[in-house]
Structure 1
Amino acid sequence: MSSAPETGNTLSNPVVPGFHPDPSICRVGADYYLACSSFEYYPGVPVFHSRDLVHWTQIGNALDRPGQLRLPPGTSSSGGLYAPTLRHHDDRFWLVVTNVSGDGNILFTATDPAGPWSDPVRLPGVQGIDPDLAWDDEGNCWCTVAGVSQIRIDPQTGETFGEPRRLWSGAPGAKAPEAPHLYHIGAYWYLLIAEGGTERCHGVSIARSRTPDGPFEPCPDNPILTHRGTDHPVQNTGHGDLVQGPDGSWWMVFLGVRPRGGTPGWHVLGRETFLAPVTWVDDWPVVGEVSLALSPPPWPLQRPAAAPVRDDFELSELAPVWISLRSRPVEHYSTKERSGWLSLRARGASLDDPEAIFVGRRQQHLSFRARTSVDPAEGRGGLAVRLDEQHHYEIEATASEVRVIARIGPLRTVVASHPVTGAAPVVLAIEAAVTRQVTDARQGPDTLAFGVQDPEGVFVELAALDGRYLSTEVAGGFTGRVIGMYAAAGTVHFDWFDYVPLED
């Protein structure tokens, strides 16, 4: 699913919309590669490719085998995989990430970023989250983690050398120094970090040293990126990573959110990946304007074919955009049981259950329409908008009834019901309409309408729900909305799914 269409001579920011936080980037020749956090979803760590920093195509997920990613049933929402770092060194790609729900810091390698990636190398001597990798001229590999501390490692074996050293940790008193990235640029080693927490006070700061292990001198203009205390439409900006273009220009990818509605503003798509230009003044990086209308970079834009918004489930494996909760056991997910259909066999009676069977893709647009054709003759299931186990809306079908269900915190209720007439399948639909004008400070960011499609293709609305209750500001956590299909009883078959962005 691509971002909004181009208009005139500008392009859209965010460059990777929807729940794609904690971006890490590297360039190899003319190709850029980017990886993001995935938290409790499986497969883990989506990997993207671009030739121009603006148009990105998902080429896989780095952790797509059970042996690589262990997310036990007790993994909480917003647990799992945090903040990968993606680098290219010695003709190999290296990816290091924290599994806060199991294996701690783990490292993977690949010759092709599309995969396959190796089995994990565990780093038991590396304590902390948000690990970074950097190599010095002598071949030493330095691993830096949130806090901020650093230790030398053997990336082949996971062995550590010596004790971790405390480094510069940002502004005095600023909370959550995290997301460190270490770079050797010119005469200096630069330590880039996020600080202030990943909410409205988020920011990016930097320090430099003559050696990779410090001491580090902070930039006099820190933070070099933040929107705290402003009315900028992009908020929570932070967790940046630097990359140099083939023409020598510099850029930063970073996360941000687009809050909508009244006070305090609710963001529902999660933390997204944005792009901004970087210049250098007195050997310090200066981050340029963060704009939703992004000026194109000074090289030809590559326009890959748009990612499909419809899936007819004709392939033997699910496409990389599809994610599930914590695992994807083959006995519960199949595109082979009924040719051209996705068959889901229930485990857990509803999406309240952490082990629920669910296949979804990230919401990437403020306004959208999603539909699926479902045959519920052998079970019960449907189409859902999910944030976590306690915050989700769904439209659910059985052989005799369609109903709309809302789960908001401790409350679960059937909002509307509708009899099913005629033979299966039935087409279920969800439409999101963004709030365009705020008339009440408590007005939510969008409205989610749930309904069925009649035989003539007309949408019949059964219920409309306030979108603020499926936002991070209400639910907490680090993720964003995911739209998808689920089974809550028996086996439910889905013929197709489509997702259409509407005008934002």
Structure 2
Amino acid sequence: MTKPSITYSNPVLPGFYPDPSIARAGDDYYLICSSFEYFPGVPIFHSRDLIHWEQIGHVLDRPSQLNVADRKSSDGIYAPTLRYHDGTFYMITTDVRGIGNFYVTATNPAGPWSDPILVPYGGIDPSLFFDDDGKVYVTAQQGADYDSHAIQYEIDIATGKALSEPVVIWRGDGGPWTEGPHLYKIGGKYYIMTASGGTAKEHREIIGRGSSPYGPFELYEHPILTHRGIEHPIQYLGHADLVEDGNGDWWAVFLGVRLVDSGYSVLGRETFLAPVIWNEEDWPMIDNNEGTVNLEMRVTRLPGGSSTKARTTAFSEGSDDFDKSGLSHSWTFLRNPAEGSWSLEERPGWLTLRGQSAGLSDVGQVAFVGRRQQHVQAEWSTYLDYGSIMDGEEAGICARRDEDAHYEIFMKQEAGLRTIGVRLTVRGEWLMAAEVPTDSDGVYLKIRSDVTEYSMYYSLDGQEWIKLSGGPARALSPEDFVNKMCFTGIVIGLYASGNGKTASGKAHFDWFVTRQTRGGN
């Protein structure tokens, strides 16, 4: 028997990259994730070996495909599914509180993708299945909580028109939130796979098998993926998708959370990878409370001939000097950016932001451009030139969960007096934690995070850094929500706001540096 000889690190996509879905086209693999209120929507990655992922773009990158300008946090784009069939890529998803369920197509996964094609039925988490006889099915979640179930119907893939009425095909294992359904045909049998238990401590992946795409499906008696009953650094496992590689090996991508301290994670739900082992009864096994999904994984082989230990290439490490014609794919806007709210051309080599009327606690088009936090212990810094600041305007750097939870350090002007301040917003209530006067047009700003705290620093010369204030890390975690469950992790962003009006002054950021500190997650 061949012993495992290749080591790779989990998660393969660290940071807020939940609800992964994967498709193979020849020797190439493509993976997508949920994006919720952020724009462009649905980041897409490419790999040859399943562990090194490079972001090649976004599926929904123009307003005709996605308008989330007025969407609350954790609304927007939910749980996309990616499929490849007969030379065409398909991405199907839900625009929650928007146009509902739809799919887009492309012959090149880097884009351009088509405008949305609507499908008529289903709540959230739609998936596509292409059967051998040419029929195409939509499988989707319907209902809520313990009434959640999967429905299915046939469509005309050219138009999205339903060719049959929706039928309930799967009610899960009796737990709440039967969601994220995927239908597969493997070895002549149909498998229906879904998450169950909600995307927290009871999260699990379950599976059923039948002889037709409509079932009936026999439920396998145990979850095929969960850590709900064991002490382990990775929790909340579930919402999986399967892929077969060119060697005939099977793999699963799924979400998980690396909890720290007293049981929270500011990074949110991340993308993990594990091999699939088929048991003697032809059921796919991933990790049913066995602890085999780990931060360091050992396998006998990977596709693409990879033979070295390596972490993903999808980190947004290093420096961005804003000297290119466009932003790199790792940047994301908070909702659709308002026209004229940002520019790389106005002052070459700088990112220019023009504050809008909406601020960080508002649901609106905030002038905010950010990157996902990918390490617990890290720091982010920038240089801000704000010589054109006017009264009521501010700009700076922010650690954002949603409109109810965010920390920022910024320059602001009121009644002609300019200050550098730190504001902490927790559970919808804000506190001006510190404020110092300045007569400078420019300031260096930094946010540093560790397991327990976010610390905010400023410098006037780029050498001597002064800690102005800090706030507890737990208060920014998705676990610390009050009225509405949070599905995102922290995004570190550069922002500007006119605080009730469009700003006349413009904020210029010279660079943005991300650095991991002291090892850590």
Q: TM-score, normalised by structure 1?
A: 0.92
1:20-31 alignment runs, 5 A limit: 20-31=17-28
CA distance in 2, matches of 1:349, 1:428: 22
Q: Does 1:58 pair with 2:26?
A: no
Q: Does 1:254 pair with 2:269?
A: no
Q: Does 1:398 pair with 2:415?
A: no
The aligned counterpart of 2:136 is 141
1:311-330 alignment runs, 5 A limit: 311-330=320-339
1:97-112 alignment runs, 5 A limit: 97-112=93-108
**What amino acid does structure 2 have at the position aligned with 1:284?**
W
The aligned counterpart of 1:438 is none
**What amino acid does structure 2 have at the position aligned with 1:478?**
F
CA distance in 1, matches of 2:177, 2:131: 27
CA offsets, 1:250-285, max 9 Å, x none? 1110001111112xx112111100111111112100
CA distance in 2, matches of 1:384, 1:103: 30
**What is the Cα deviation at residue 27 of structure 1?**
1.0
1:458-477 alignment runs, 5 A limit: 458-475=464-481, 476-477=485-486
Q: Which moved further from structure 2: 201-210 or 373-382?
A: 373-382
TM-aligned CA distance change 1:149 to 1:54, over 3 Å: same
**What amino acid does structure 1 have at the position aligned with 2:469?**
A
CA distance in 1, matches of 2:335, 2:259: 28
Q: Does 1:33 pair with 2:30?
A: yes
**What is the Cα deviation at residue 463 of structure 1?**
1.1
**What amino acid does structure 1 have at the position aligned with 2:41?**
G
Matched residue SS, 1:32 = strand
The aligned counterpart of 1:365 is 375
The aligned counterpart of 1:183 is 184
**What is the Cα deviation at residue 318 of structure 1?**
1.6
Q: Are the counterparts in 1 of residues 316 and 371 from structure 2 also a CA contact under 8 Å?
A: no
CA distance in 1, matches of 2:319, 2:297: 28
**What is the Cα deviation at residue 313 of structure 1?**
1.2
**What is the Cα deviation at residue 329 of structure 1?**
2.7
CA distance in 1, matches of 2:109, 2:160: 21
**What amino acid does structure 2 have at the position aligned with 1:208?**
R
**What is the Cα deviation at residue 420 of structure 1?**
2.7
TM-aligned CA distance change 1:456 to 1:71, over 3 Å: closer
**What is the Cα deviation at residue 106 of structure 1?**
1.0
Matched residue SS, 1:162 = coil
- RMSD of aligned residue pairs (Cα, Å): 1.7
The aligned counterpart of 1:343 is 352
Q: Are the counterparts in 2 of residues 325 and 354 from structure 1 also a CA contact under 8 Å?
A: no
CA offsets, 1:327-349, max 9 Å, x none? 02331111111111111111135
Q: Are the counterparts in 2 of residues 371 and 427 from structure 1 also a CA contact under 8 Å?
A: yes
CA distance in 2, matches of 1:38, 1:456: 34
The aligned counterpart of 2:80 is 84
CA distance in 2, matches of 1:456, 1:142: 58
**What is the Cα deviation at residue 79 of structure 1?**
0.2
Q: Which moved further from structure 2: 299-308 or 368-377?
A: 299-308
Structure 1 runs, 4 residues or longer, greater than 3 Å off: 302-308
**What amino acid does structure 2 have at the position aligned with 1:164?**
P
**What is the Cα deviation at residue 418 of structure 1?**
2.5
Q: Are the counterparts in 1 of residues 6 and 300 from structure 2 also a CA contact under 8 Å?
A: no
Q: Which moved further from structure 2: 309-318 or 24-33?
A: 309-318
Tell me how many residue pairs correspond in the alignment. 479
Matched residue SS, 1:61 = strand
Q: Are the counterparts in 2 of residues 348 and 357 from structure 1 also a CA contact under 8 Å?
A: no
The aligned counterpart of 2:145 is none
The aligned counterpart of 2:144 is none
Q: Are the counterparts in 2 of residues 370 and 498 from structure 1 also a CA contact under 8 Å?
A: yes
**What is the Cα deviation at residue 34 of structure 1?**
0.2
The aligned counterpart of 2:270 is 272
CA distance in 2, matches of 1:92, 1:433: 44
CA distance in 1, matches of 2:423, 2:163: 54
Percent identical among aligned pairs is 45
**What is the Cα deviation at residue 32 of structure 1?**
0.8
The aligned counterpart of 2:216 is 215
CA offsets, 1:375-431, max 9 Å, x none? 122232000000011100000113732111001123211111233354x33110011
TM-aligned CA distance change 1:460 to 1:11, over 3 Å: farther
The aligned counterpart of 2:160 is 158
TM-aligned CA distance change 1:456 to 1:216, over 3 Å: closer
Matched residue SS, 1:469 = helix
**What is the Cα deviation at residue 9 of structure 1?**
6.3
CA distance in 2, matches of 1:217, 1:62: 35
CA distance in 2, matches of 1:33, 1:452: 40
The aligned counterpart of 1:496 is 511
Matched residue SS, 1:473 = helix
Matched residue SS, 2:94 = strand
**What amino acid does structure 2 have at the position aligned with 1:129?**
I
CA distance in 2, matches of 1:188, 1:9: 32
**What amino acid does structure 2 have at the position aligned with 1:500?**
R
CA distance in 1, matches of 2:300, 2:398: 38
1:216-235 alignment runs, 5 A limit: 216-220=217-221, 222-235=222-235
CA distance in 1, matches of 2:397, 2:47: 31
Q: Are the counterparts in 1 of residues 257 and 268 from structure 2 also a CA contact under 8 Å?
A: yes
**What is the Cα deviation at residue 455 of structure 1?**
2.1
Q: Does 1:352 pair with 2:361?
A: yes
**What amino acid does structure 1 have at the position aligned with 2:158?**
Q
CA distance in 2, matches of 1:35, 1:287: 20
CA distance in 2, matches of 1:297, 1:351: 48
TM-aligned CA distance change 1:493 to 1:103, over 3 Å: same
Q: Does 1:431 pair with 2:431?
A: no
Q: Are the counterparts in 1 of residues 155 and 164 from structure 2 also a CA contact under 8 Å?
A: no
Q: Which moved further from structure 2: 134-143 or 394-403?
A: 394-403
**What is the Cα deviation at residue 134 of structure 1?**
0.5
**What amino acid does structure 2 have at the position aligned with 1:42?**
F
Q: Are the counterparts in 2 of residues 142 and 152 from structure 1 also a CA contact under 8 Å?
A: yes
Q: Tell me which of 400, 413, 430 is aligned to 1:412.
A: 430
CA distance in 2, matches of 1:230, 1:479: 24
Q: Are the counterparts in 2 of residues 208 and 217 from structure 1 also a CA contact under 8 Å?
A: yes
CA distance in 1, matches of 2:244, 2:176: 29
1:119-130 alignment runs, 5 A limit: 119-123=115-119, 125-130=120-125
Q: Are the counterparts in 2 of residues 52 and 297 from structure 1 also a CA contact under 8 Å?
A: no
* Alignment gaps of 5+ in structure 1: 1-7, 435-445
Q: Are the counterparts in 1 of residues 405 and 428 from structure 2 also a CA contact under 8 Å?
A: no
Q: TM-score, normalised by structure 2?
A: 0.89
Matched residue SS, 2:164 = strand
* Alignment gaps of 5+ in structure 2: 142-148
TM-aligned CA distance change 1:296 to 1:381, over 3 Å: farther
Q: Tell me which of 277, 290, 293 is aligned to 2:293.
A: 290
**What amino acid does structure 2 have at the position aligned with 1:256?**
G
TM-aligned CA distance change 1:60 to 1:456, over 3 Å: closer
**What is the Cα deviation at residue 59 of structure 1?**
0.6
TM-aligned CA distance change 1:466 to 1:389, over 3 Å: same
**What amino acid does structure 1 have at the position aligned with 2:434?**
A
Q: Are the counterparts in 1 of residues 104 and 115 from structure 2 also a CA contact under 8 Å?
A: yes
The aligned counterpart of 1:440 is none
Matched residue SS, 2:170 = coil
Q: Does 1:203 pair with 2:213?
A: no
CA distance in 2, matches of 1:473, 1:308: 26
**What amino acid does structure 2 have at the position aligned with 1:268?**
V
